[in-house]
Amino acid sequence: MISLRIDVQKQGAPRFPFEIKLNGPVRAGESYRCHIEFDGWINAPYHGIKGNDSRQSLALAVQLVYSILCSFRSKGLRYYWPGSEVEFDLDQLLAPGFYQDEQADAPTRNDYPPISNENGEQGIPPNAR
Cα-Cα-Cα-Cα dihedral sign, residues 6, 116, 98, 57: negative
Which residues of the chain, if any, have pLDDT below 70?
42-47, 96-129
User: What pLDDT sits at residue 99?
Assistant: 59
User: What pLDDT sits at residue 120?
Assistant: 52
> Which distant-in-sequence residues (6+ apart) come within 8 Å of 93 by Cβ?
62, 65, 66, 69
- Its domain, for residue 115, covers 2-124
Q: Does 63 fall in a domain?
A: yes
Q: Give how many domains the chain has, as a whole number.
A: 1
Q: Does 93 fall in a domain?
A: yes
User: What pLDDT sits at residue 2?
Assistant: 83
d(CA 20, CA 28): 22
User: What pLDDT sits at residue 44?
Assistant: 67
User: What pLDDT sits at residue 113?
Assistant: 45
Q: Does 129 fall in a domain?
A: no
Residue 7 near residue 80, CB atoms below 8 Å: yes
